[in-house]
Chains A and B, each alone.
Chain A
Amino acid sequence: MTVMTVNNVPCEINVSLAGHTLEAAIVGDWVLEAEIPSLDVVLERLGDRSNVKRLVFSTEALGHWDSLLMTELIRLVDYGVKQGIEVDTTTLPEGIQGLLSLVYAVPERVGARRHETKMPWFEVIGNGGIRIFKDSQALVAFIGETALSVFALTRGKARFRWVDLWTNIQDCGPSALPIVTLISLLVGLILAFVGAVQLALFGAQIYIADLVGLGMTREMGGLMAAIIMSGRTGASYAAQLGTMQVNSEIDALKTMGFDPMEFLVLPRILALVLIMPLLCLYADLMGIIGGALVTVSFFDVSLVEYLNRTASAVHITDFSIGVAKCAVFGVLIALSGCMRGMQCGRSASAVGDAATSAVVTGIIFIVIADSLMTVMCNRLGI
């Protein structure tokens, strides 16, 4: 039993019937890497209840054994007991007997085993509906609580640490600049190229400035900034709050008399709402620079012409629309991030789920809100 041989003796199980006693002779090395013989023969013989009343084992030729033998033995014993056959384990080696008695020491708890139940499709749809309903209820409740804490803030009664607000502003503002720069510059570049292909056909390259300027300020600058921030800050909010939930930090805050909505959620939402419009302006600028790069280097327009054209095409209204949209996006990102974080379960995977669903919810909200606002602007003629 001490040294594992490389060449195992092939394992076998031989059965012989003497009177009403079935003897199973276990032969060879029963180890996990061995090829096991089928137990069907033994099980079939055991099934013959009129002839077999008792099962004994002989293990004279048994070599090495490990958990493989145990699992097979348990199968035999279980089957034997179920068939009402007397299973005699006393001839087995002591180690095996000891392990078997451990296995059977605590009987399987009734009802503990979980069975996979297949739900009818009707129930699946119903459950989905209920889940969506509960989710929306939670969303409305969360918005309500947020509104209450904002109200408390306006009355000067909200309790949070100003330093938390500043660190959050630092996290979602200046620290996000590099990625916002990169993405908006490239989006401006892409817009310019896409437009240029058509406009150059008519020799109207100068209008690239209009396309990029209006496209960035009214739509793309804010949208790109929002999507970046949803992946960056929304996910981070959800993960932070989720981890605090897992560590009972939120419970601790509550027992100390703090409202987590004011203490944790409010500074995060405020930070994002304050920063998003600024990020939007920055993204607009970067996009316009990207467009200028393309137009000036490839399409024979001078930088001054480009900038003049942009200045006459883009009005303060366009900027305002973009910035206003972006402030709305900021609220939505912070809401979905904080909500998913606060709803987080108490396990490591729940934190991951919270971060994922914060981003998904955030982006869905952003796109829906953007479509609505764009249609509104269009109808109102602004």
Chain B
Amino acid sequence: MTTVCLTIKNMTMAYGDFVIQKDLDFTVNRGDIFIIMGGSGCGKSTLLMHLIGLQNPAKGDVFYGEESLWQADNKARQRILKRTGVLFQTGALLSSMTLAENIALPISEHTLLGAQRIRELVSYKLALVGLAGFEDYYPSEISGGMQKRAGLARAMALDPEILFVDEPSAGLDPVSAKLLDDLIRSLRDNLETTVVMVTHELASIFAIGTNSVFLDPETKTMIASGPPKQLLAESSDLKVIQFLTRGETENWAANVTKNQEACSL
């Protein structure tokens, strides 16, 4: 049984007159690990900004369940967004606070729990992401991978229904990147969180993605959607195949010779 969790309807994103993506239409089902993929500069991260209420769409809307995000007034939007957690590309931990304070921030803001209970919750969240004992460290004192895991702990602080993740593996070595992927997947499995992930890391896409949408910077719209493995097997679109195979199907050498011929007319 699938329940629709997030619907993007006929959305256009633009900076002023400059359209980034148009005619975006897709749904994310509960329990999905939904991948937003595409080449650099196609507007993946911008799309994420629209989904989490930081940038308003030029046209169209985002629906959380049945509720519209952008038709809602400020209060309703805050209420909707309370059900989400976001892991930013750099972790975006507040650098003037310790990890514990960072994670306690959303908890103390949105609940009425006492200090002791919050401290226990924080320790539990840090332990979940493998950072037990790092409560009193400042973000600048830990490594990039640890910062991302701490960011994940903060994003998961309020047990969100939907977790948004922006390029989790950017700047991480392959092993740390895989550990982070595994962590996201096991959090999804155990907490039944829906994950929406922006990435162009093929390894992650195939390892954990259950559904996806492919954004193309040239036509400025989505040109494919579906489970990544199925896309690889069935898509007939050259751009999608090229992306999913690192361009190895198209013969790079042939391309080079062709151009060489062109230049030695």
What is the interface of chain A, defined by CB distance below 8 A to chain B? 77, 81, 86-90, 97, 100-102, 104-107, 159, 164, 243-244, 247-249, 251-258
Contact = CB atoms under 8 A, between A and B. Distances in A.
A377 B63 CA distance: 58
Contact of B260 (A100, A243, A257): A100
Contact of B92 (A159, A251, A258): A251
Given A249-B93, A252-B92, A253-B94, A101 B109 contact: no
Nearest to B107: A256
A101 B259 contact: yes
Contacts of B96: 164
B88 A81 contact: no
A88 B261 CA distance: 10
Contacts of A244: 94-95
B106 interface: yes
A104 B263 contact: yes
Interface string B66-94: 00000000000010011011101110111
Given A87-B264, A104-B263, A251 B256 contact: no
Interface band, chain B: 20 to 34
Interface string B44-67: 000001001110000000000000
Contacts of B154: 252, 256
Nearest to A159: B109
B263 A87 contact: yes
B131 to A, nearest CB: 18
Contact of A252 (B82, B94, B257): B94
B54 A104 contact: no
Interface of B: 49, 52-54, 78, 81-82, 84-86, 88-90, 92-96, 105-106, 109-110, 154, 255-257, 259-260, 262-265
Given A248-B88, A257-B110, A90 B54 contact: no
B260 A258 contact: no
6 contacts: A104-B262, A105-B255, A105-B256, A249-B93, A251-B92, A257-B106
B92 A256 contact: no
B94 A249 contact: yes
Given A104-B260, A105-B256, A105-B259, A247 B95 contact: yes
A195 B76 CA distance: 65
A247 B97 CA distance: 14
B121 to A, nearest CB: 15
A249 B139 CA distance: 12
A257 B109 contact: yes
A247 B92 contact: yes
Given A86-B264, A104-B260, 10 more contacts: A86-B265, A90-B264, A97-B260, A101-B256, A243-B95, A244-B94, A247-B90, A247-B95, A251-B54, A257-B109
Nearest to B88: A248
Given A255-B54, A255-B84, A88 B89 contact: no
Contacts of A88: 264
Per CB-CB distance, the 7 closest pairs between chain A and chain B, nearest first, are: A252-B92, A248-B92, A101-B260, A256-B106, A104-B263, A248-B88, A255-B86
B71 to A, nearest CB: 19
Contacts of B92: 247-249, 251-252
B88 A251 contact: yes
Nearest to A80: B265
Nearest to A78: B263
A249 B95 CA distance: 8
Contacts of A100: 260, 263
Nearest to A98: B256
A89 B260 CA distance: 9
B105 to A, nearest CB: 6
A246 to B, nearest CB: 9
A40 B34 CA distance: 59
A258 B109 contact: yes
A87 B263 CA distance: 7
A158 to B, nearest CB: 12
A248 B109 contact: no
A115 B60 CA distance: 35
A102 B264 CA distance: 13
A7 B265 CA distance: 37
A328 B75 CA distance: 33
Contacts of A164: 96
Given A247-B92, A255-B54, A81 B86 contact: no
Nearest to A74: B263
A75 to B, nearest CB: 13
Contacts of B82: 257
B105 A256 contact: yes
Contact of B90 (A87, A89, A248, A256): A248
A77 B3 CA distance: 61
A89 B263 CA distance: 9
B52 A255 contact: yes
Contacts of B259: 101, 104-107
A244 B97 CA distance: 12
Contacts of B95: 243-244, 247, 249
Contacts of B265: 81, 86-87
Contact of A102 (B81, B89, B256): B256
A159 B110 CA distance: 11
B263 A77 contact: yes
A324 B64 CA distance: 51
